Structure 1
Amino acid sequence: MTALVPFFDGHNDFLLRLMKTPAPREETWLGASGRGHLDLARMKASGFAGGLFAIFVPPASDGPPPDFKVLMADPPYALPMPPEMTHTQAQPEALAMAGFLHWMERAAPQDFRVCRSVSEIRTAMEAGIIAGVMHMEGAEAIGPDLDALHLFHDMGLRSLGPVWSRPTIFGHGVPMTFPGTPDTGPGLTGKGRNLVHLCDELGILIDLSHLNEKGFDDVARVSSKPLVATHSNAHALCASPRNLTDRQLHMIRERRGMVGFNFATFYLNADGRADNGTVWDTMLRHLDHLIAEAGEDHVGLGSDFDGCVVPDLIGDVTGVPLLFEAMGAHGYDAPLLGKLARDNWLACLDRCLR
C-alpha cells in the first residue's frame, strides 16, 4: 500500500456544513454521518494534516439555498448576487462558526488543534494532530470600525478574504457568471484599504480568491505581504471570473505568494459546467498551468471541500491520495509533490503571519 502524503488544504467550508447539519454535531465531525466531503475520520484516513477552515456567512433566504450544480450545469449563466450584508446581520453566525472550530478541538483534543502560528501548525502535524487555522471568507462580520477584527484575531483568525462574491463595505467581488473576466467593477473602498493595513499589522493573510481584478491590484499596492489566493484556478483554461489571469499568477510569483488549486468543477472545465464527471487530465492541465505561471514554489491545494461540486474521481477528502497518484503518474516527482501537498503552504504562511 502506498504511504499517505500528508497535505495542507488552503480552503474548506466544513464549518458552514457543521452549522447547517441538523444531525448531532458529533456525528458530523467525528465521522458517523458519512455525509459531505469532510469529517475527522476521513481526514485522518486521507493524510489531511491541516488546513484553513472558512467562516462563511451565507446569504439570508426564506427558502432552500440555490442548487449551484443545477444553475451552473448549462453555461452561459449569470447568477444574481445577494445584496450587501451588514456586520450586525453577519456577526452572530460568524461567531457561531468560530465557536464550532474551537468545539472541534475540545471534541477531539488528541486529533485536532486550532493553530495560530506556523510553529504551532508544524508541532501539531509532527505529532499527528490535524492543524486547523481559522479563515474568514467575506469580511461582513468585521464592521466599519474594524474593532471586531481584534476579537476574531484573538480567537485564532489568521486568514481573511475581504469579500465573497457579493459586495461588502470593503470591496467588490467577482460575479458568478460564465464566461467572464475578473475585471469587473471598482476595487477596494477606503475601509477596505484600512482593513488590509490592519491585517498586515496583526499578521492576518489577505485572501484574494473572490476579489475582482481592481481589488487584487489594490491589495498588491496597499499590502506589503505576499499575494495569496487560497482557492482559485487558471483563467486561461476556464474563463470564470473566479479564476486567475496569467498576469495575476505572475504577480503572485513575484510577491512570493500562493495559489491554492480548487477542485470545484465549474472552475476547472473549459466550458464552465458543474460536472462531476471531470477527468484527471482537466485537473492536471490546471496544475501544470499554475506551476508554469506562478512557479512550483507558489502552488498548493485549495480544495473548496463542502462548498462545491468536486469530480467523482475525488468524491471527498479520501480521494486526495488518488489525485497525488495521478500527479505522480503525470511526472511530478516526490520533492515537487511535497511542495504542492504542504511545504509551499507552510512556507507562505510563515511569510504572511510574522
Structure 2
Amino acid sequence: MIEYLEGYIRTLKGEDPAIYETFNRIYEVGCSQGSLKVTGGLEERFDKNFVESVKEQEIIRVYNRWTGEGALFNSFRLKKPVMDRGSAKKILRELLRDDALCDFCMPELYTPEDDFGRVRGQHSITASNIAKYDAWSGLLIFRKHNPLDFSFEELSDYLSTASKWFKMAEKSSGFRFPFIVWNCMPRAGASQIHGHMQLLLGERPYGKVSFLEEVSRRYLKTYGSSYHDDVFRVHSAIGLGAEYGGLSVYASITPVKEREINITFKSEFDRDSELQRCLFKILRCLIDEARVHSFNLSMHPFNRDMNIPGIIRIVDRGNIASKSSDIGGMELFGSAVIGSDPYIIFDRIKGVLDA
C-alpha cells in the first residue's frame, strides 16, 4: 500500500543501500497529518464512522527531483468507494449506441485523407486530421466502433498500420519524431466515441519528450547511469515494477493522474510481439478487471538518435458517469492529487503479466 511507502524505503536502507541511495537521488518522500474539527451540523449529517475517519488524514507526498513531477496521496481519498458500476455501464451503453450517426464508421466517405493517401490495415485505416494538432497530424481509425472492444490481433494491426503511416509521412516531410496518442472516450478528450488514435510526426521531439531526454542526459553526466533504468530499478525495489521479456513495466509513484502505468522499451513497436502482447494484457486488465472505460495512452517510439528508451504511458481518466472533471487547478498548476493506490493496480497487472 502507498501508505507504507516510507516504511518500504527504510527497509531498503538496511537491505540494499545502493538502491536506497538511488531512490533518494531521484525522489523525495514525505508524510504529514492533516486534521480538522467536525462541527455539530456535519456530525448530524454523516454517520459516526465517517466523521471519525476524516478528523485525521495522512498525506503522502512524492516529488521527483529531476523532472519536478509531484503527487499527493491522501489516505482518506484512497479509501473512497469505487465507482457505481451500474451507472458506468448505463453511460457506456448510451455512448456506444449512436454508431449509425458516426462519421468514423464510414471513414473513406466522411474523413479527409493525407496527401500521400490512406494506409489500410486489416482492422484499421488512416485519415488526415481535419483539425490538426501539428503539420503532420493523422488519425488511425479502428474498424470497430467500440474503442474498448479489441483483440490482440486487432491491437497489433493498429500498431502496424500506424508505423506504415509514420514511414510515409517521414518520406513526404523529412520529419523523424513520431508520437502516438490514444484518447479513449470523451472524458479523456476524444471528440469521437469511435475507436481512434492520433498520429503525430514532429520536426523535433515534442516538449515533454524533449525535456525527458534532457533529464536523461544530465542524469547520465552526473551519475554515469541511465535515468530510466534507475527509475525502473527503484520502482521494482519497492514492489511497483516488473520485467516482461525485455520490457520494463511499473506503476509510477509520481503519476500524472490515476493508475499511471509506464512501459519502457528499446525495440521497433510494430515488430516487437512481446511489447504488443504486454500492452494488450495491460489494457485488457485495466478495461476488464479494473473497469477503466476512459483512458489516455501515449507512445514515444524508440528512436536510436535519442538518449531515452521508447516510452508508453497510460492513465485512467475516471468514472465516465461522473459530471465533474478529474483534473483541476492542482493538476494543471501544482501537483497531481491522486485518489488511487498504485500498489492495487500493479498487483492486478503483475498477475496478468505473470499468467
| Normalised-by-shorter TM-score class | under 0.3
TM-score normalised by L of structure 1: 0.26
- Which protein shows a greater Rg? 2
